[in-house]
Structure 1
Amino acid sequence: MAKKESGLKFRGKPLVRCGDVIFYGNIADSYVVRLTVKTKVLVSDVSVSDIITVELLKSAAVFYGNFKPLKNSDKRGLYEALDLGSAWLERALRKD
């Protein structure tokens, strides 16, 4: 029987969430994207992410705690943040 992959993915890459921080990309690759939720708004009694900081990091930085981003930007909404992060990650991995 085939092993099922679990976990949330966006454009084929894993998403891992801890509190208001989401890491996007495979930690075994050279780069990952960190999404940090800065503000939230209430929509029909549901808390929704509003302003999100997108940062491109070297994967080794995640292990060693050196979180100096190679690129960063603020976006409105999770989809815009993931879209930008995905583009940055794909370009960085292609160069590598």
Structure 2
Amino acid sequence: MANENLPLSYKGHPLRRKDKFIYYGTMAEKYIIMLQIQSSKDVDGLSVADKVSVQLQLTDPDLKSRDRVVKKSEKDSLYAAMDVAAVWLDRALAGK
């Protein structure tokens, strides 16, 4: 039986989804990734993201939302977006 208390995670960081936004990382750290699904297409009855915006953001609540963005990019699939997000987040948290 699976433990229902464990959150969904990818490469050691938690994932949270709210509508078309996916937050990767934790607010307790200095950085977090925000993925926004901008468009999707229907593939065999399933909705698949085909345009995803990726943003590396600071978690400082005192900054304006546009000042929090450190890096941003657009990808053609959720897989490619998550791949970039994992690298950006790991490097940012390591201080590189």
TM-score with structure 2 length normalisation? 0.87
Question: What pairs up with 1:6-85 in 2 under 5 angstroms?
Answer: 6-60=6-60, 63=61, 66-68=64-66, 69-85=69-85
CA distance in 2, matches of 1:91, 1:15: 18
> Displacement, 1:65?
7.3
SS of 2:35 mapped into structure 1: strand
Higher strand proportion (structure 1 or 2): 2
CA distance in 1, matches of 2:62, 2:78: 27
Unaligned runs of at least 5 residues, structure 1 = none
Aligned Cα root-mean-square deviation (Å): 1.9
The alignment of Structure 1 onto Structure 2 pairs a total of residues equal to 92
> Displacement, 1:4?
7.2
From the superposition, tell whether residues 41 and 4 of structure 1 become closer, same or farther in structure 2 (CA, over 3 Å). Answer: closer
TM-score with structure 1 length normalisation? 0.87
